[in-house]
Amino acid sequence: MVYRGKGKIENMEFIQFHPTALFEPGISPSFLITEAVRGDGGILRNKSGEAFMERYDPRKDLAPRDIVARAIDNEMKRSGTEHVYLDCRHMDKEKFIHHFPNIYEKCMRMGIDVMQHMIPVAPAAHYSCGGIKTDEWGRTSVQHLYACGECASTGLHGANRLASNSLLEAMVFGHRCFIDSIEQINTIPFEERIPDWNATGTSEPGEMILITQSKKELQQIMSDYVGIVRTDTRLERAMKRLDLLHDEAEALYRSTKLSPQLCELRNVISVGYLIVKGAQFRKESRGLHFNTDHTKKSALLQNIIL
């Protein structure tokens, strides 16, 4: 919405993936297996039962989540599988249940006894570090508009968010937005001349499949071409397909009556575009953005503003 309102958007290419979401095809949002399980001794294994993290980082299963997510992604691509495994069978049962009761119960409901079976896991998109560019008080480039939380790029998360930093984001910037806006609120005139929405010339959507299928295509494009590891070719291919989806969605927007589904489709296509465009501009690998065509970190620290 802010981008369409000509506001500044920053660093959208930095999308954090949680490395160990419970693998449940067709289920969204994913159930997250906390990284504390690996901290307590859980071991990642591939389909052959091999503990593979030692090939990617000397810290093995305790490596930072971006490194773990890329390692899992590579193992899945090498073997052609949709997930790897988290092995907790060697861990103390009472301690596991005490520390991770929700995980234990969820797995048991799926028929997975974590003391006897390995847990199928795969990376899942988790957090957007970029977003609406703000200053240190949550002010955006649009007058009187504030932003904080995951929609915002306050600079707090940098290129690679640390666990629980979202709490700091909400506490500090939520409070700062409040303090600053209270001082500004009495200076803002109330606009009473906003016209009603004009739906003249539009019709009821004849086929909801036009919206639902476009959303499925968008999700597939972003997963396949703009995931954990990127290339220039995949990003270019994603942009071409996003351009087509955008044209189709805008044609629907002009010709049919509004629905929550159509508004959501328009929004997620815009977000997808901003992620891809930011990734195309960044000719380096930094933080959560890893491009095999530009594996080095640039000496120039650059914010991508769209």
Catalytic residues: 65
Structural tokens at position 135: 């200053």
Query: Bridge-partner residues for 45, per DSSP?
Result: 51, 85
Could you give the CA distance from residue 84 to residue 278 in angstroms, rounded to a whole number?
30
Which residues make beta-bridge pairs with 17? 125
From 228, 182, 247, select the one nearest 14 (Cα to Cα). 228
Radius of gyration of the chain, Cα coordinates, nearest whole angstrom: 22
Write the DSSP assignment of the chain as a string of letters: -TTTTT--EE-TT-EEEEEEEE--TT-SSPPB--THHHHTT-EEE-TTS-B-GGGT-TTGGGS-HHHHHHHHHHHHHHHT-S-EEEE-TTS-HHHHHHH-HHHHHHHHHTT--TTTSPEEEEEEEEEES-EEE--TTSB-SSTT-B--GGGEE-SSSTTSPPTTHHHHIIIIIHHHHHHHHHHHGGGSPPP--PPPP--TT-B--S-THHHHHHHHHHHHHHHHHSSSSB-HHHHHHHHHHHHHHHHHHHHHHHHB---HHHHHHHHHHHHHHHHHHHHHH--S-BTTB-BTTB-SPPSS----B-
What's the CA gap between 285 and 70, in Å, rounded?
Answer: 13
